[in-house]
Amino acid sequence: MNELEFIARLRALAVNPAARGLVDDAAVLKLGDETLVLTQDSMVEGVHYLPDQDMADVAWKLAACNLSDLAAKGAQPLGVLYSHMLGSGDARFLNGLREVLEAYDVPLLGGDTVSANGPRSFSLTAIGRATYSPVPSRGDAKPGDALYLTGPVGAAMMGFEALRDGTTSDSSAYRRPVPLLAEGRALAPLVSAIMDVSDGLLLDASRMADASNVTISLDRSAVPIAAPESRRDDALRWGDDYQLLFTGPADIKWPIAVHRIGQIEARKGSALLIDGAAPVPDDALGYRHSE
Amino acid sequence: MNELEFIARLRALAVNPAARGLVDDAAVLKLGDETLVLTQDSMVEGVHYLPDQDMADVAWKLAACNLSDLAAKGAQPLGVLYSHMLGSGDARFLNGLREVLEAYDVPLLGGDTVSANGPRSFSLTAIGRATYSPVPSRGDAKPGDALYLTGPVGAAMMGFEALRDGTTSDSSAYRRPVPLLAEGRALAPLVSAIMDVSDGLLLDASRMADASNVTISLDRSAVPIAAPESRRDDALRWGDDYQLLFTGPADIKWPIAVHRIGQIEARKGSALLIDGAAPVPDDALGYRHSE
């Protein structure tokens, strides 16, 4: 069974309406007067990080990518649960975990350790409380909305290449991504749709378009990039930047700095138009290196 | 770094009082008028299940062991999050996951899929709401209390051996453990301490004694076993039975059938006494095959 088929069948198990965003978005769960937001993401050695990477950075990124899912829901983190597979670099891992939890003031609530041979994997669950209801999703972009991005893409790509090639360039954007928690809370009451750009701008924009049944028309040159202009196409496809991609009115004064990068149209044909043209082939939108 | 050292250092990160039970007990988190109970457990191929086991049973057990952690807190399950590593038997896995979630009426809220080579691991998070406050823990057994068990141990051992040896004996206790959710809710208001027996009665009783700073005096022959009498010592050490071990008044009428198997004394020397004698050596209390 391939991954898309597995996800489709997993979704079919999720009869609860709260699981609408299963696998894609963080889960939303009403409890009394509160609304919980929950997300669980894993990282696997050799798939989501380089085998010789500093384990402190792996821990940081694992927590940050989960917190970014909360950010995209406008949620305030309440804590994390963490499953650790024991192995080399465990002391560094703990350092990185402490650093990221302190940086975002998130308590460690519980977890589990296991021993195993072979490539290691780590799984973290983040729990938050929604600060705005209804909790926004990626599925409510409307024709006529404008498309926005909180900041540049491509920084993680440049950081990855610096790390891979052992240059002196700054690799922190790849190693220590920043979940935009305050930005997500500020945006949640105002957006029609929102998600984080973890798998690449083009791929994630096409997912937002599919989830909302609209066509997203992207102005290629309007996208801010943190890479040389010659790498623009790569920057639009690389992931791991954790900027927030969102839609909303074209004439609003946003509470934070945002970049307008396109507009939403009624769905006709392609999920995505780049400067008015459908991308070909469809599977070159992103690297899918980060699940 | 060995596992105990890692856990100690992980606990040191958990500055939040809610994380008191880190790694051992499920986490408890106050939110408005509600109290959340959260647990995350993983299963690793070749460590927590036989490589050739039916993946439907693996899925069942992964969910059941997490639900059992909620049971030991008297919590009502609200849902689960699940991280899946793709591989062979995925269709069977999904069947088993559907069966266990339907059996206990628990919605799948969200999750994640990853691809990897090597031994597979699966991680599940269960979320529940406490039905009784304060939420009981393993750390509040008091001298003078009696020690109880909800049912026999050894059934999982017999099931494992039947499965391993390919006999026609029933292996369901090992393959499809039953989380005692209703029992946990009935007991929560009445117990002083409670936990599930997932790693073996003797080992888990010694953990309860350490967490409570008491000595647990166990009547060996009073323990109900689901195994031949000749296997009594093995049954007391084998895990995976998911019975609830708890302490409370000696003279109470319990709302469910229970077995009195010992008493709690002020701590003096050994955490555990078996028929009045300290077990030797200490590390033979359980197999630790299930983390």
pLDDT tens digit sequence for A179-234? 999 999 999 999 999 999 998 999 999 999 999 999 999 999 999 999 999 999 99
The listed CATH number (3.30.565.10, 3.40.605.10, 3.30.1330.10, 3.40.50.1470) that belongs to domain B3-130:
3.30.1330.10
CATH architecture of the domain with residue range A146-284 = Alpha-Beta Complex (3.90)
CB contact under 8 A, B31 and A27: no
User: Which ranges in chain B are annotated with CATH 3.30.1330.10?
Assistant: 3-130
Q: What is d(CA B108, CA B80) in angstroms, rounded to the nearest whole number?
A: 5
Every domain range in chain A assigned CATH 3.90.650.10: 146-284
Phi-psi group of A208: left, alpha or beta (phi > 0 → left; psi -120 to 50 → alpha; rest → beta): alpha
Q: What is the pLDDT of residue B114?
A: 80
Mean pLDDT for chain A? 88
How far apart are alpha carbons A171 and A57 in whole angstroms?
11
Q: Is A27 on the interface with B (CB under 8 A)?
A: yes
A152 CB-contact burial (10 Å; exposed 0-12 / middle 13-18 / buried 19+): middle
* Residue B26 binned pLDDT confidence (cut-offs 50, 70, 90): confident
* Region of poorest pLDDT, from A146-155, B60-69, B102-111, B239-248: B102-111
Provide CATH 3.90.650.10 ranges for chain B.
146-283
pLDDT digits (tens, 9 = 90+) for A146-188: 999 999 999 999 999 999 899 999 999 999 999 999 999 999 9
Higher pLDDT, B81 or B122: B81
More confident residue, B255 or B42: B255
Nearest Cβ partner of A7 from B13, B113, B125?
Answer: B113
Half-sphere exposure of A280 (CA within 13 A, CB side): 4
The CATH number of the structural domain formed by B146-283 is 3.90.650.10
Distance from CA of A69 to the nearest CA of B (A): 12
A103 in contact with B at a CB cutoff of 8 Å? Answer: no
What end-to-end distance do the CA atoms of chain B give, in Å? 17
Percent of chain B with pLDDT over 70: 91
Return the pLDDT at B47. 80
Q: How do residues B223-241 score in pLDDT, each as one tens digit?
A: 999 999 999 999 999 989 9
Distance from CA of A260 to the nearest CA of B (A): 30
Cross-strand pairs, A247: A147, A193
pTM of the model: 0.85
For the cut 70, the answer to whether the pLDDT of residue B281 exceeds it is no
Q: Does A125 touch chain B (CB under 8 A)?
A: yes
Residue A17 pLDDT class (50, 70, 90 cuts): very low
Residue B23 at interface with chain A, using a CB cutoff of 8 Å: yes
Range among A115-129, B2-16, B186-200 rated most confident: B186-200
**Angle CA A77–A79–A81, to nearest 5:** 135
Q: Are A226 and A155 in contact (CB under 8 A)?
A: yes
Q: Residue B189, preceding bond cis, omega within 30 degrees?
A: no
Query: Is the separation of the CB atoms in A177 and A156 below 8 Å?
Result: yes
Pairing outcome for strands B27-31 and A27-31: unpaired
| Residue A289 confidence (pLDDT) | 45
* Nearest alpha-carbon partner for A118 in B117, B163, B16, B138: B117
